[in-house]
A and B are shown apart, each in its own frame.
Chain A
Amino acid sequence: MSLTPGLHHFLVVSALLFSLGLLGVLARRNLLVIYMGLELMLNAANLALVAFSRFNANLNGQVMVFFIITVAAAEVAVGLALIVALYRKRQSAHVEDLTSLKL
């Protein structure tokens, strides 16, 4: 591996960022921070797509990232509305308090 950043380097950064987002989803117990971990994972996938697009001289990857950003914005709006509705009903945004489906 050379030191000049190529596709490899960007993919390593993307993989590490994805792992960090996964760690946030697994370890944190606050619904909002779990959502931020999800956003981090989406951003890592975006970085990988842009890197592939750049090193294959193909713009389709960047159009895909554009679509992902839009869908993520819609997803965040709906998800946060759900969290607010949940908080109104249960007075908590903590996953350990939401156990009514547990056996």
Chain B
Amino acid sequence: MPALTDLLFYGFAGLALLFGFLCVANPLSRNPVTSAMFLVLTICSLAGLFVLLNAFFLAAVQVLVYAGAVMVLFLFVIMLLDLKEEERRKLNKVALGAGTVAVAVIAGILIRAVTSAKPAADKLVEGTTKPLGRILFTEYLLPFEILSLLLLVAMVGVILLSKKELK
């Protein structure tokens, strides 16, 4: 009789892979909005896997930042661009075949390499806010501050890029 967490792992992993496939290669719809919606579902399933890995803070950040902010940005741009006519184009069959073969080979190699590895020792670590915040503001204080600078630079760059005429 498998434990509940085992079943949850297989459920979330299966959902993440299914939604990920529907995001990149949906056989029914090639609309970017559909892809974006399936990407949201993939990210939420990954947040579930993070919870199973005791990374509670990262699961919350994943839902807030990725499924919230980043995907809203994606949908906003999709609606701004009005990509209706893109749907009618036919798929490049050669590229799809070559891509599928390459990806299948890479996936096979990765799975083989991973399954032949030795099992890791099962130690427990809890990624809650307190230990993560402590390590973030002591050991990783300088990268953290540099990251804030990076966000500022990205913000200025985006504002400059979105201006009507670049001087």
Contacts and interface: CB of A to CB of B under 8 A. Distances in A.
B24 A28 contact: yes
Contacts of B151: 70, 73-74
Interface residues of A, number: 71
Interface in A6-26: 6-13, 15-24, 26
B98 A69 contact: no
A73 to B, nearest CB: 6
B132 A66 contact: yes
Interface in A51-96: 51, 53-60, 62-63, 65-67, 69-78, 80-85, 87, 93-94
B28 interface: no
Contacts, number: 244
Given A10-B49, A63-B132, A81-B157, A23 B99 contact: yes
Given A80-B73, A85-B162, A36 B35 contact: yes
Nearest to B144: A67
Contact of B55 (A8, A32, A62, A70): A62
Given A21-B24, A72-B70, A51 B53 contact: yes
Interface of A is mostly: helix
Interface in B121-167: 121-125, 127, 131-132, 135-136, 139-140, 143, 147, 150-151, 153-155, 157-158, 161-162, 166
Contacts of B89: 29, 94
A27 B25 contact: yes
Contacts of B121: 55-56
Contact of B92 (A15, A29, A77): A29
Nearest to A43: B46
Interface in B92-113: 92, 95-96, 98-100, 102-104, 106-107, 110-111
Q: Which residue, of B13, B89, B155, has the highest number of chain A Cβ atoms within 10 A?
A: B13
B74 A78 contact: no
Contact of A58 (B9, B125, B166): B125
Interface string A32-57: 11011101100100110011011111
Interface of A: 1, 3-13, 15-24, 26-30, 32-33, 35-37, 39-40, 43, 46-47, 50-51, 53-60, 62-63, 65-67, 69-78, 80-85, 87, 93-94
7 contacts: A4-B2, A5-B9, A16-B17, A36-B35, A47-B49, A62-B57, A74-B151
